[in-house]
Chains A and B, each alone.
Chain A
Amino acid sequence: MSLKSTAMNITAPVIPAHWQIRAVHRFLKIKNTLFKGPYVPTFIESPLPEVDTLAIEDIDVSSPFLFRQKKWQSYFKRLRDECPVHYQKNSPFGPFWSITRYDDIVFVDKHHDLFSAEPIITLGRTPEGLEIETFIAMDPPKHDEQRKAVQNVVAPKNLKEMEGLIRQRTREVLDELPIGQPFDWVKTVSIELTARMLATLLDFPYELRHKLVYWSDVSTASPETTGGRVDSDEIFAAAADAGKHFVKLWHDKAAQKAAGQEAGFDLISLMQANEETKDMVKRPMEFMGNLTLLIVGGNDTTRNSMTGGVLALNQFPDEFTKLKENPALIPNMVSEIIRWQTPLAYMRRIAKQDVELNGQTIRKGDKVVMWYASGNRDERKIDNPDVFMIDRKGARNHLSFGFGVHRCMGNRLAELQLRILWEELLQRFDNIEVLNEPECVQSNFVRGYSKMMVKLTARKNDKPDKVSP
């Protein structure tokens, strides 16, 4: 634990978290004007070269424009074929190894004894002063304790309780959609549905739910972390605002509990009921870390799969026909969407010792990036990997959730949300037409869309319902 984190834990009972975050921000601003602060890269977009014009050692897949410029498939294919364990020594994020084949990624993901998730799982570092503590970036045994304390909020048993609520909220959003008129699917459906879900999981004030989305978006979008566009002033302001609201939520929940109200199934109530985490509010960086992890985990991922699925069915229209003829394919399609989209491109590790992998020697201390987006398109493992196939055999065997102890905790919730969405969409619409190329976010981590205009065609009511939830 860092000195700053320890100091914050000691002062937490007397100084509110958001004041502490602001104080750290002010201190760093002064410090960095007096002394040179840590290097923060800047990214100005220009067309990336075609991959076949580059020497293999010059290929840099850390560019935050690779996905947006649709170059990621050719870049990663070349690495998979020619140099599957690839070293880039001069990236804006420092030197790093890329692991690009499916089997090698599973090897790295499984071997937490060889590859550490600490201190962070993105290519770059977190902004100075905001080094939150979260179990996705902890190794066993601490990881295991923290994960167990919160995982029940998204465990299947809890989801069974929530399915009806998720369906009701999905219906509310879909029933309001305009027919035959262009609208932005990202804002109106994907963001709205994930915001409602996050507010439900946290029992967060419903009318403030868009704050959760904003905080989550901002927290993964700094240039030094993922090549994004949000500067540290904005991130600090968001962190302070999030800290204020989350601490208040904690105390409100504690007061309700003290007043004898029955504890809910929300994250904070579960934390307060667990011996390991019942005082977490006194450890602000850990508390903020866990909440940030949950909102980030439940935000970009599902949102972009909700958009990606519509896009995929537009690029492969025969699959849409197949789906309408056989809605029983929805669960399999959900896995295929998550593979095809791979909403988070990678997870990062640090080698704990020298490791030989596919002919290369990774040295102790080196950064190692497992490119799930590449492994999910590995021809060695997946037939016609660039094709979206809703009845794909073995669709569940994708890498998007990761493998090993850090495997996505919310995977069942994600699948449930997407399944319900598609069940409800098929009930209402015959077509969801994508009108223009979607706009993609600037990031090497989040493979996401910021805007996608669509037009709906209502379903003709001459067919019997094939999906009866």
Chain B
Amino acid sequence: MASVTIIEFGGTEHEVEIEAGKSLMQIAVDNSIPGIDADCGGACACGTCHVIVSSEWFAKTGSTSDEEDMMLGMTPERADTSRLACQIEASEALDGLVVQLPEFQM
């Protein structure tokens, strides 16, 4: 089973199965991972599915669009490898991906 690991701010780890074609946000929401709000439901319009990708995986999560960059720019917790989970498409190629959640979504 291909899986990704989502680590809450407090350190709790969740290993969830990859469903190819879904976004990482959708997978997190489907698995009720706390700390992903996804207020806009995947429209890249709210910034509340912010994740920080481990640096070795960052390039494999795809490129950050201008619109995603702008939404990420609104959070003070932005890191170099920040992404919005709704903009990461899950695939078998992401088997083993590790992402951290920020302390807050805003």
Interface positions of A (Cβ within 8 A of B): 106, 109-110, 140, 144, 147-148, 151-152, 155-157, 394, 396-397, 401, 403-405, 407, 411-412
Known: A147-B74, A396-B37; 18 extra A-B contacts, CB below 8 A, are A109-B45, A110-B43, A110-B44, A110-B67, A140-B70, A144-B73, A148-B74, A152-B76, A155-B76, A155-B106, A156-B106, A157-B76, A157-B103, A394-B41, A396-B38, A396-B39, A403-B46, A407-B46
B39 neighbours in A (Cβ, 8 Å): 396-397, 401
Contact between A110 and B106, CB atoms less than 8 A apart: no
Number of B residues, CB within 8 Å of A: 19
Interface positions of B (Cβ within 8 A of A): 37-41, 43-47, 67, 70-71, 73-74, 76, 103-104, 106
B6 to A: closest C-beta gap in Å: 18
The dominant DSSP class at the B interface is loop
A155 neighbours in B (Cβ, 8 Å): 76, 104, 106
B52 to A: closest C-beta gap in Å: 16
**Docked pose: A147 CA to B76 CA in angstroms:** 11
A110 neighbours in B (Cβ, 8 Å): 43-45, 67
A-B contact count (CB 8 A): 52
16 contacts between A and B (CB under 8 A): A106-B45, A144-B74, A151-B76, A155-B76, A155-B104, A155-B106, A156-B103, A156-B104, A394-B41, A396-B37, A397-B41, A401-B39, A401-B46, A403-B46, A404-B45, A405-B70
**Docked pose: A249 CA to B73 CA in angstroms:** 30
**Docked pose: A106 CA to B47 CA in angstroms:** 14
B38 neighbours in A (Cβ, 8 Å): 396-397
B70 to A: closest C-beta gap in Å: 6
A189 to B: closest C-beta gap in Å: 27
The dominant DSSP class at the A interface is helix
A49 to B: closest C-beta gap in Å: 36
Contact between A397 and B76, CB atoms less than 8 A apart: no
- CB closest chain-A residue, reference B47: A407
A396 neighbours in B (Cβ, 8 Å): 37-39
A150 to B: closest C-beta gap in Å: 12
Contact between A407 and B104, CB atoms less than 8 A apart: no
Contact between A405 and B106, CB atoms less than 8 A apart: no
A401 neighbours in B (Cβ, 8 Å): 39, 46
A154 to B: closest C-beta gap in Å: 9
B68 to A: closest C-beta gap in Å: 11
Contact between B103 and A407, CB atoms less than 8 A apart: no
Contact between A405 and B41, CB atoms less than 8 A apart: no
Among A109, A155, A404, A411, which residue has the most Cβ atoms of chain B within 10 A? A404
B73 neighbours in A (Cβ, 8 Å): 144
Contact between A157 and B104, CB atoms less than 8 A apart: yes
- CB closest chain-B residue, reference A147: B74
**Docked pose: A92 CA to B20 CA in angstroms:** 53
B70 neighbours in A (Cβ, 8 Å): 140, 144, 405
**Docked pose: A229 CA to B39 CA in angstroms:** 35
